[in-house]
Structure 1
Amino acid sequence: MRSSEELKKHTTADDFSRKRIRPDQWEKFCVCVCVCLAHRQKFSLARGHTSWKATPCVAPKPPDPLLCLLRKILRHLVFLRAFPRRSKLKWDHFNLTYKILSFPKNFISRSQTRKGLATAFRMWSDVTPFSFREVPPSKASDLKIGFYSINHTDCVESDIHQCFDGTTGELAHAFFPQNGEIHFDDHEYWILGKTRFSWKKGVWLTDLVHIAAHEIGHALGLMHSHDPNALMHLNATLTGKDRISQDEMWGIYWLYGCKDRHHICPSWARKGFCKSRPKFMKKHCPYSCNFCVEFPFPTVPPTAPPPRMKTRIIPEGRNVTFRCGQKIIHKKGKVSWYKEKELLEYSYPGYLYLDNDHMSIIANVINEGTYTCVVKKNAKILTTYSWRVKLKH
């Protein structure tokens, strides 16, 4: 899974899995796309073009999106030559085990890593027939998880196994059944929580649960999706979708069939359990409840912002200033500014400016998020204000 911004606009190997391109046409299609991209890249570089917007000096520069796509399509081409029948790339049992062979060295603890991975597996077990259980590293398992540096396992010699590239870029990758390997880039700063940029550390903090859930989908046999609302979208880090959608469910049904797990399912459906217990029934009785063809998830209204929070939708590049209760500050309160609960201690020229009772930012993808000012006198909190900043697209 990549963090780059432009890849979502291009065709992926998911076209093959959905039969928009016939298998006998796929190789010619890949070669044509690769040649076109190579010519386009040469032309763009000759004219000095780039599709990436400027980032602060402390933020890692993203890799060129065209070269990323070129490498990805070539890997899919080699992969489809080696495994021409996608229908064989699936598990023959639903009770899967996994083990963690190595843990991340940056930022996140072992216990948090285990918790995050368990949460990602639970996202899939809640809505599919699969169950997942962790076993010790010394025991055999279906799935093998590890956090690795740039050159890991056989990535140098392999045509379909890409090496990692340091922070950002390639975040993780997984292998189709029944290989079962899931690799994470150990140079990333993994967290439990929403992916965001940390001014304090000068790096992106990446949501482990979100990325792990995406890679588990690959390990179950799913390819990338064109649906921007899907967890399995090629660049789900950009779309921000962290829930399993109907698109993933149809992919699982296509691979493993849409079947009831209990003979009593038709009786439960007649008693109205499909509506009264949808979460249980979509896992155990999808056929009897028509979840194979209908959207199985209830529509959940968006969570209301907490009290005293304002949402600001701002055009990219505009300077915006937030002021924190001047009347309260006159009572000699101390003001602290936070982004996503992380203390902001310094100004960053051209991006963020702090001046006690007010803060100014330049609206861009790095500065999106929730900002809070807290006014304290001694240990007492006098007031708080929050602003949620979103880019206007």
Structure 2
Amino acid sequence: MLNGKKIVLGVTGGIAAYKAATLCSRLVQKGADVHVIMTNSAKQFITELTLQTLTRNVVYSDTFDEREPSVVSHIHLADMADLVLVAPATANVIAKMAHGMADDMLSTTLLATTAPVMIAPAMNVHMYDHPAVQHNMCLLTERGTMMIEPGEGQLACGYVGKGRLEEPETIVDVVERFFEQQESGKRERNEQLSLLSGKKVVVTAGGTIERIDPVRYITNDSSGKMGFAIAAAARDLGADVTLVMGNTQVQPPANVHVIPVKSAQDMYDAVAGQWDDADIVVKAAAVADYRPKEVYTEKIKKKGDTLSLELVKNIDILETLGKQKSHQFLIGFAAETNSMEMYAREKLERKNCDLIVANDVTQAGVGFGTDTNAVHIYDREGLVEELQVVAKEEVARRLLSIAAERIAGRN
């Protein structure tokens, strides 16, 4: 797994620096291309020549000692790295990393790299437990720096406790697992990218607008975020995506075909125009059930204490599509405030959906305008999957993965 991986190893000034020799040796034996950067303090414990001999690469320690005129060394190392590993990582270098200091070769390279960074702290137990050190490590962890926890035992200073550099063999195992997970993630992403390849997905999003007069209309609180997340996820899974977009509060995702609409009838007409060629249709829009019977051409003037509007029923887009369904996989949404499962499953049957996504919009972090959602996904047999409060993007990915599996099963 490490064969050909370029690892920049930072060695800092603690007694555990002597273990860097074994660490270099183990990494090289596994096939890694190791490039060492030493701090001046590290050179008090182990020589550059030792690590150069073990890695068969130049060892760097001075930012201004440019040995290759064609490159700037710290930028070249930062760019080439598949992983930057700092072992041992002293309290000093951890503080530098946390606060963005760049006063030597290692700290400058760490600021310049976009590669994953992993550190293995090593220091006195009281230094390790100090609130400043713990705070700095928390900052780094929040930014994505990976930590290899120090071991417990007899320390060089005579204390017994946590702070000993983890053994080189264990560090190598952690590095190998990291690259294994990275490769596994790449394979999964590649598989995901083709999950809906060649499929046409139609998504509706947002609310509809039903005009009363030129300045007033009936609508709802739908932001369009859930529908937009589904459209973006379908695009990322390789589908040809058409987004039928009503009234929304956010910008639609890029690289999808957008059809803007206003009313329920406009939305139905747009979806009907895409229906025959569609493989998956996701009705995430909040469509007005009723519209004013009469739409006034001029602004209604205020008269008296009350105003009556007569409303008539709109076309039920989901039910109409369900009756017309042949090969299409149809997904509906049910935003409920009570008896969620009963209403959702009744809606699925009545409207001939393949899946229905139900949520309780009275729950915190769920429903209109939020970036998160909590849903129950049902088919005719009952509950397929329950997702607790998660990002709408995650709901979208899971929903489309289920749809893709069902379509593959049909075929």
TM-score, structure 1 normalization: 0.25
TM-score, structure 2 normalization: 0.24
Give the number of the structure with larger relative contact order, counting CA–CA contacts within 8 Å between residues 6 or more apart: 1
